[in-house]
Amino acid sequence: MKNKKGFTLIELLVAVAIISGLGTVLAQAFFTTTRSNTKVERLTDVKQNGEYALALIERMVRNARTITATCTQDGSVSTPSAAVVAPDGGETTIGCVLDGTVTRIASQSSSGTEYFTSNAVTLGGDSCDADSLVFYCTSIAEVPKGLKVTFQLSQKGTPVDQFEKASTTFQTSISLRSQ
């Protein structure tokens, strides 16, 4: 009897095919997981910025003495910014501010500008005219007692793959505490 040592060509081809198939599946799983993690991180950053901005806007409006905004009788007119008069009498305008090339939510008062969002996210557009921040009056004309705030935040820049784009819409309604 002959003693066979080694493998036949067919056995080697089958082994190589199985190993390469497993390698391809593992590589795809790795890259899919990496892409998903990147998207989750970006989306988390966008959500944190949006929730923080909403909380600051809500606190400022709720504690304000009055809201000065252009409102119609039915509250159908939207405005890109809203001014609130604080209990101490100081007026603060909340709206979009162009910071370099990034449109950000900020408040502007006599003491300066306070940004509510980081420069890693944007309201969209190249200018504040094209941004997504809108205030709606939720009461009668000339005496606004509340605002509805809507905006969309996106990550800054354009990702190579549309799958990686992180964007979220935020919305809330706020009533004055003092009225």
Q: pLDDT band at residue 161, thresholds of 50, 70 and 90?
A: low
pLDDT at residue 83 is higher than 70:
yes
Query: Domain range spanning residue 70?
Result: 9-175
Contact 145/179 with Cβ under 8 angstroms? yes
Please report whether residue 3 resides in a domain. Answer: no
Please state, in angstroms and rounded to a whole number, the distance separating the CA atoms of residues 176 and 107.
18
Q: Tell me: the pLDDT tens digits for 4-62? A: 777 788 988 999 999 999 999 999 988 887 777 777 888 899 999 999 999 999 999 89
Reported pTM: 0.75
In sequence order, the 6+-apart residues with CB closer than 8 A to the CB of 152 are: 123, 124, 132, 167, 168, 169, 170
Residue with tokens 């304000």: 64
Please report whether residue 134 resides in a domain. Answer: yes
Q: pLDDT band at residue 1, thresholds of 50, 70 and 90?
A: low
Q: What pLDDT is stored for residue 130 in this prediction?
A: 65
Q: Per the structure, how many domains does the chain have?
A: 1
Please state, in angstroms and rounded to a whole number, the distance separating the CA atoms of residues 23 and 178.
65
For residue 155, is it left (φ>0), alpha (ψ between -120 and 50) or beta?
beta
Q: Tell me: the pLDDT tens digits for 89-134? A: 899 999 999 888 888 999 999 899 999 999 888 887 777 876 688 8
Please report whether residue 1 resides in a domain. Answer: no
Please state, in angstroms and rounded to a whole number, the distance separating the CA atoms of residues 167 and 12.
50
Query: Higher model confidence: residue 138 or residue 26?
Result: 26
> What does the DSSP 8-state code read for residue 160?
S
Please state, in angstroms and rounded to a whole number, the distance separating the CA atoms of residues 150 and 88.
27
Q: What pLDDT is stored for residue 166 in this prediction?
A: 82
Please report whether residue 98 resides in a domain. Answer: yes
Please report whether residue 111 resides in a domain. Answer: yes
Average of per-residue pLDDT across 149-155: 89
Token digits of residue 119:
């420069």
